[in-house]
Amino acid sequence: MKKKLFLILIILVLGMVGHSRVGDIIPLHEWMVNNDAFTKNENYTIQDIQLTGKVALLIDERNNTVLYEKRANKRIYPASTTKILTALLALKYGDMDERVTVGTEIEPQETGESTAYLVLGDTYTIRDLLAGLMLPSGNDAARAIAVYIGKIIANDERLSNVQATTVFVDEMNTYAKKLGAENSNFINSNGLHEPGHYTTAYDMAMITLAAIKEKEFMQVVSQSIYQNEHSTFKNTNQLLDPNSNYYFEGVDGIKTGFTDEAGRCLVSSIPLGGRHLIAFIYDSTEEEVFNDATALLNAGINHNN
């Protein structure tokens, strides 16, 4: 009888693990796969930071040291921080000066979604599209990148927008797992809400650590304003804006995010002694997300002094 009860318990536990939802804490044996990429020293970890964000992580790029974490293994919606991965693939498969003529893929999918106001039939460089993706958080730029790069990955210009986007999203998931992001699933290139589009702060850290190694990526995300022959893109990251009350001198990125389901999200970074501190805030509020990031970055700076 005891043996039967034990077997039933194992089946129930395995069943719960296989059906984890957003908001669940990833079971220890699953998320430890992620944590193998990070160094955690209890004597080096910051304690007791007051944050509104429900999920937070602070990484010192030196040896990928975890300085602070708050439910960083919780399954979450990434919103537009998804675009960090989209940008990585654009840089992997495209050239910054390649010219892309955008089509119907740039049309909005949701009322009021964030946009770079790309113009149907106009031609942009990959650099322009990355700026439109990362500064104003343009979903139109995300879709344009997905279609263009998807065709490159498949080596087939004849693909429809839907087919090319599918190729791109498949590569997002493949590449994320190569980077060690085992507890994520991406369904689109922009971060618009889908129940099956999720990640964890630890997974986003692995993706972001790869991104900040790309010089061209950092050149884009560190700008508060980007201008080209078509338009001007203003960064939604107020930590970079000298005219904002949230301005944080020295910050050089990276990406904001928001959906009703994800709350306010922000990945921010600051160079420190030849490496970066990277702060991840998820499910915060409009009023507090930049304060949360500031508190994390300041804690990391003071901890290193």
> For helices 126-134 and 139-154, what crossing angle results, to 10°?
140
Residue 137 known to be catalytic:
yes
Cβ neighbours of residue 209 closer than 8 Å, sequence gap 6 or more: 59, 61, 64, 278
**Active-site residue, selected from the candidate residues 83, 184, 255, 284:** 83
Q: How many CB atoms lie within 10 A of CB 113?
A: 15
Q: Any bridge partners for residue 57, and if so which?
A: 69, 280
Q: Catalytic: 4? A: no
Nearest to 252 by CA among 202, 288, 292, 208: 208
Residue 244 among the catalytic residues: no
> Which of these is catalytic: 137, 184, 268, 269?
137
List 70, 74, 80, 268, catalytic entry: 80
Residues serving a catalytic function are 80, 83, 137
